Amino acid sequence: MPMSNRAASLLRLSRLALPLIVALAWIGAPAVSAQPTFCEDNGLVVMEFESAPLAGDWVFENSIPQHTGSGYYRWDGPDQFANPGQGILTFNIEITTPGNYKMSWRNYNFGPDAGEENDAWISMDGETWQKCFSAGIDQWTWHTLIDAPSDFQPNWTLAAGSHNLRFSGRSHNFHIDRVHLYLDTVVGPTNPAYPETDDCLWQDLGSALPGVSGNPVLTGTGTLVASTPVLLTLTNAAPFAFHAIYMGASAINLPFKGGVLVPAPDLFIGLFSTDASGTEAFPGTWPPGLPPGVQFFFQDWIIDAAGPLGFAASNGLKATQP
């Protein structure tokens, strides 16, 4: 079926009910890595190491007491002192608060030598692999240093947006429990009581355009597991206002009607009308068969005389298939 026919059939829907997402899948949205993605929260990213799918000679264990989460990973392969890139584990990260982020990992070394079985390779955003090591015997420790002419704590200046932190095996028998990335503003940044940062299933991308009620808000709820309920909800829009949803398989962030159009306009769905409180909800079921990592972008545009050009807009919203 040509794309124009698909779009026309969707325009005849009286309510969204999210068969639209199926249509977006037809567009051919590119599949990306199925590795976990974590959203930074107030300058902190907490990642349980076992959240990454096993690769290479990493093994899952939980026999050492006082680990966090469900367990930890141990490098069971041979030493890779001159051969980085073996057993790569990738953590995709979404940063909303830019700044200089330090990294600490919670690790364990059985000893008897604190300088043995105590390191792994790390790389941020595809940079050169670096040896990262720890010191401590028979205890969980946060000691984390880069091996360089002058040892220093790993840190990177990260802009807002997507990043990836990779680990690969180096020393046989090294144990890693969890990893924290944090700004200096975070209180107690290595407190193991911090919960794992939420996976970025639904992410607010900002760029709302205010109207008579202020910024309209578009939210999404649901696990994005095949055949489970999902709900898009528009709130804080003008009462009894016509509105429509732009949906796309990518974000373009282009100037539009005095604001910013976040999604690529692959589909334009409308018109709907808000209720007396400026609200409308769109329930549906998440479709099966979508490849892991596929992302969809949404934004609601509302006819609103208080907007700069007669329109208001919600924030952009991103949904990522787990």
Mean pLDDT over residues 148-174, rounded?
93
pLDDT tens, position by position, 281-312: 988 888 888 887 788 899 999 999 999 999 99
Q: What is the pLDDT of residue 105?
A: 98
pLDDT on residue 111? 76
Tally of structural domains, the chain: 2
67 shares a domain with 165: yes
Q: What is the pLDDT of residue 35?
A: 62
Q: What is the mean pLDDT of residues 151-176?
A: 95
Distance CA 145, CA 54 (A): 24
Do residues 162 and 42 share a domain? yes
Domain that includes residue 166, residue range: 37-182
* Percent of the chain's residues with pLDDT above 90: 65
Residue 161 has pLDDT above 90, yes or no: no
Q: Which of 34-48, 84-98, 175-189, 291-305 has the lowest mean pLDDT?
A: 34-48
pLDDT of residue 224: 85
Task: Say if residue 238's pLDDT is above 70.
Answer: yes
Among 232, 299, 314, which Cα is nearest to 263's?
299
Q: CATH number, domain at 123?
A: 2.60.120.260
Lowest mean pLDDT among 8-12, 109-113, 236-240: 8-12
CB neighbour burial string for 88-105, b if at least 16 within 10 angstroms, e if fewer: bbbbbbbbeeebebbbbb
Contact 291, 320 (CB under 8 A): no
For position 222, which CATH number holds? 2.60.40
Judgement on whether residues 131 and 86 belong to the same structural domain of the protein: yes
| Between 187 and 7, the higher pLDDT residue | 187
CB 107 within 8 A of CB 140: yes
Give Cα 110 to chain centroid, integer Å: 34
Burial of 227 (0-12, 13-18, 19+ CB in 10 A): exposed
3-state secondary structure (DSSP) of residue 161: strand
